[in-house]
Amino acid sequence: MKHILFSTAIALLLFATAGQSQDSLSTTRLEAQHQSSSSKAKRLAQFEENLLKTLANENPTMQAQAVQTIRELEQMFPKYTFKSLIAPLGVKLKDENADGIVRQGSADSL
């Protein structure tokens, strides 16, 4: 399972750096290089859904990887809100029994 998540995270990062599209009015170099794509929002929504499932997993390593992936995607796609991840990240942040890395990553993501 850990290898699947890691492979998914790598695929997400590869997708984000190579295949993503952003609005032409963007301020980041990465966004300015790409034109808008109709399928970008659908793919990001799928990634968001999969990350939501990974955050719900009991394994702290998988949760930490998901939080790190969320942080990286938020940096790559600043105009996408990832609004369904806000509440679960807040829960992880407030959970005193949660892994410290997960809590810190959640705070950074929020």
pLDDT of residue 57: 87
Give me the residue spans of the domains in the chain: 2-109
pLDDT of residue 33: 59
Average pLDDT over residues 73-99: 86
pLDDT at 20 over 80: no
- Check: pTM over 0.85? Answer yes or no: no
Least confident of 1-10, 58-67, 86-95: 1-10
pLDDT of residue 23: 44
pLDDT at 26 over 80: no
Instruction: Report the alpha-carbon distance of residue 68 to residue 109 in Å, rounded.
Output: 8
